[in-house]
């Protein structure tokens, strides 16, 4: 009997006044299919996304930082002030962080610990400085800083550590 190959599973969660809870990405059947020594192309994995945009948040709910399987976090178009909490470092699998259109004045150095981060959108905030640790983002492909008033000197220092070919949107 030929095993059934499960299609790509994309988990999207849209919250309005809800409490964020950890989610199970795979069920037993998909785990069994993946363990049958199938080629990598046939072993599709889940993409975990959390959309908290347009929620009038002033900070990221602490429960989000327990969702270590998250690959995409959208906190855009909120009212987040100060900086994202340092606990962002716990989201090791994060590939995309959309934090545009908030009221943030700073970026935590801990974002530099997100080794898998490919897209970081900090556009249209109130950033006046950038941490040098942004230069530690070795997987980054797109860094959007437009609509902020950061120091060009900060950006020049950061760029020295970034991979060649990163798209930086000023």
List pLDDT tens digits, range 16-43: 444 343 333 333 333 333 334 444 433 3
d(CA 91, CA 107): 15
* CATH T-level assignment (fold) for domain 52-169: 3.80.10
pLDDT at 104 over 50: yes
What is the pLDDT confidence band of residue 98, given thresholds at 50, 70 and 90?
A: very high
Closest to 106 in 3D by CA, of 86, 91, 128: 128
Beta-carbon-side half-sphere exposure of residue 41 (alpha carbons within 13 Å): 0
User: Torsion angle, CA of 130/99/77/103, rounded to 10 degrees?
Assistant: -20
Looking at residue 46, its pLDDT comes to: 53
| Domains of the chain by residue range | 52-169
The token pair at 90 is 């716990």
The residue assigned the tokens 């945009």 is 53
**pLDDT tens digits, 43-93:** 345 569 999 999 999 999 999 999 999 999 999 999 999 999 999 999 999
Is the CB of residue 111 less than 8 Å from the CB of residue 87? no
DSSP 51-110: E-TTS--SS--GGGGG-TT-SEEE--SS--EE---GGGGG-TT--EEE--SSEE----GG
Separation CA 125–CA 84 (nearest Å): 12
Length of the chain: 170
Q: What pLDDT score does 43 carry?
A: 36
pLDDT in tens, 113-166: 999 999 999 999 999 999 999 999 999 999 999 999 999 999 999 999 999 999
């Amino acid at each position: 009997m030929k095993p059934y190959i499960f299609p790509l599973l994309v988990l999207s969660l849209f919250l309005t006044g809800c409490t964020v809870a950890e989610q199970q990405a795979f069920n037993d059947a998909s785990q069994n299919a993946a363990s049958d020594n199938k080629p990598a192309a046939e072993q599709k994995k889940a993409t975990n996304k959390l959309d908290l945009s347009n929620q009038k948040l002033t900070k990221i709910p602490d429960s989000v930082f327990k969702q270590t399987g998250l690959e995409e976090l959208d906190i855009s178009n909120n009212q987040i002030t100060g900086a994202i909490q340092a606990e962002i470092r716990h989201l090791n699998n994060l590939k995309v962080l959309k934090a545009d259109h908030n009221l943030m004045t700073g970026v935590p150095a801990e974002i530099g610990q997100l080794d898998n981060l490919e897209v970081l959108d900090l556009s249209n905030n109130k950033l006046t400085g950038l941490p040098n640790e942004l230069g530690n983002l070795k997987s980054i492909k797109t860094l959007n800083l437009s609509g902020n008033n950061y120091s060009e000197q900060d950006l020049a220092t950061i760029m020295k550590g970034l991979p060649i070919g990163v798209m930086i949107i000023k």
